[in-house]
C-alpha cells in the first residue's frame, strides 16, 4: 500500500462552524425589513446551503434582480455585524490539524459570499488550515455549488480522483457527485441524514473523530 496525496474540500456553514442562529436571525431581520413574517428554524433550515440570491428571490416572490440585490445587501450587512459570534464546531479543528500534518491540501468551498467567508475564517482562526477559500462572488456568480466545485478544481489543478468533499447538506453531496468527487456527509450540521444519502453521500459520519477515520481510510490506495 502506498499513501497518496488527498485534497479536502470543506463546506463552511454547518460543517466547520455553527452559524445557523446568526443566519436565521439575519434572514428574519431582512424579511421584516421587506414586510415579511419571521420563519422558524425548521422553516429556514432548507435555505441554509444554497446561494442566497435565489433564496431571497423565493422569499420575495420576485424576479426583480434589483430588489433581490437590495435584500442580499441588507442581509449581508446584518451578518457582518455578528460574524464574531459564530463558533467552530467542537472537535473540528483537531481534524483540520491532523489532516494538515498528514500532508492534505485543504480548501473551503461555500455558497457564502467569498469575502464574508474569508473574514469568518480569520475571526475563528481557521484560516491557517486552508490554502484558499472559494465562495460566491458578486451577483451570485459561483453560488451554484456544482459550478463552484468545478471552478475550484480547475483553478487549483486538482484531480477528482484525489479529492473529497465534506458537507452537511444534500447540495454538497450533489455537487461532489456532479464533479466525480468522494462525498462525505456530516450529521452535526443542518441537513437531514436521508437527504444526505439521497444526495449521493458515499459515507455519513456522526462525529469529527469518525470523519477523521473516514478520511484516513481514503488516504491509502492499493497501487
CATH number at residue 61: 1.10.150.240
Residues 102 and 182 in one domain: yes
Domain that holds residue 68: 20-84
Which pLDDT belongs to residue 210?
A: 98
> Where among 43, 64, 84 does a domain terminate?
84
Specify the residue for cell string 436565521: 24
Average pLDDT (215-223) is 63
Residues 8 and 116 in one domain: yes
Residues 150 and 217 in one domain: yes
Rg (CA), the chain: 17
Residues 13 and 112 in one domain: yes
> Where among 62, 84, 106 does a domain terminate?
84
Beta strands in 72-181 (DSSP E): 105-113, 132-136, 163-167
Q: What is the pLDDT of residues 86-132, one digit of tens each?
A: 999 999 999 999 999 999 999 999 999 999 999 999 999 999 999 99
Average pLDDT (188-197) is 95
Domain count, the chain: 2
For residue 140, which of 58, 83, 72 has the smallest C-alpha distance? Answer: 72
Which pLDDT band, with edges at 50, 70 and 90, does 138 fall under? confident
- Which grid coordinates belong to 108? 473551503
> Where among 31, 51, 84 does a domain terminate?
84
Which pLDDT band, with edges at 50, 70 and 90, does 5 fall under? low
- On whether the CB atoms of residues 215 and 186 are closer than 8 A, the answer is no
Which pLDDT band, with edges at 50, 70 and 90, does 139 fall under? confident
pLDDT at residue 10 is higher than 70: yes
Tallying the residues shown for the chain, one arrives at: 223
Residues 123 and 188 in one domain: yes
Q: What is the pLDDT of residues 164-182, one digit of tens each?
A: 999 999 999 999 999 999 9
Mean of per-residue pLDDT scores for the chain: 92
Residues 104 and 141 in one domain: yes
Which pLDDT belongs to residue 221?
A: 39
Residues 127 and 37 in one domain: no
Which pLDDT belongs to residue 1?
A: 43
Which pLDDT band, with edges at 50, 70 and 90, does 222 fall under? very low
Does residue 190 sit in helix, strand or coil?
A: coil
Q: Model's pTM, two decimal places?
A: 0.89
Which pLDDT band, with edges at 50, 70 and 90, does 4 fall under? low
Residues 144 and 162 in one domain: yes
Q: What is the pLDDT of residues 41-79, one digit of tens each?
A: 899 988 887 788 899 999 999 999 999 999 999 999 998
Residues 113 and 213 in one domain: yes
For residue 94, which of 202, 222, 212, 217 has the smallest C-alpha distance? Answer: 212
Burial class for 199, CB neighbours closer than 10 Å (0-12, 13-18, 19+): buried
- On whether the CB atoms of residues 50 and 23 are closer than 8 A, the answer is no
Residues 194 and 105 in one domain: yes
Percent of the chain exceeding pLDDT 90 equals 83
Residues 11 and 24 in one domain: no
Residues 91 and 149 in one domain: yes
Amino acid at each position: 500500500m502506498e499513501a497518496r496525496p488527498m485534497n479536502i474540500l470543506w463546506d463552511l456553514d454547518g460543517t466547520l462552524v455553527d452559524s445557523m442562529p446568526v443566519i436565521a436571525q439575519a434572514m428574519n431581520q431582512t424579511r421584516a425589513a421587506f414586510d415579511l413574517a419571521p420563519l422558524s428554524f425548521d422553516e429556514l433550515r432548507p435555505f441554509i446551503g444554497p446561494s442566497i440570491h435565489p433564496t431571497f428571490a423565493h422569499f420575495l416572490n420576485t424576479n426583480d434582480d434589483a430588489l433581490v440585490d437590495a435584500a442580499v445587501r441588507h442581509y449581508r450587512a446584518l451578518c457582518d455585524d455578528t460574524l464574531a459570534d459564530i463558533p467552530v464546531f467542537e472537535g473540528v479543528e483537531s481534524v483540520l490539524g491532523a489532516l494538515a500534518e498528514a500532508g492534505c491540501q485543504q480548501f473551503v468551498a461555500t455558497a457564502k459570499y467569498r469575502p464574508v467567508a474569508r473574514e469568518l475564517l480569520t475571526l475563528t482562526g481557521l484560516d491557517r488550515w486552508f490554502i484558499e477559500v472559494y465562495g460566491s462572488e458578486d451577483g451570485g456568480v459561483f453560488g451554484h455549488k456544482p459550478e463552484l466545485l468545478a471552478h475550484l478544481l480547475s483553478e487549483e489543478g486538482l484531480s477528482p480522483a484525489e479529492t473529497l468533499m465534506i458537507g452537511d447538506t444534500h447540495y454538497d453531496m450533489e455537487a461532489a457527485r456532479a464533479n466525480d468527487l468522494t462525498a462525505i456527509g456530516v450529521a452535526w450540521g443542518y441537513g437531514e441524514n436521508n437527504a444526505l444519502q439521497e444526495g449521493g453521500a458515499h459515507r455519513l459520519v456522526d462525529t469529527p473523530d469518525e470523519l477523521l477515520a473516514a478520511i484516513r481510510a481514503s488516504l491509502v490506495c492499493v497501487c
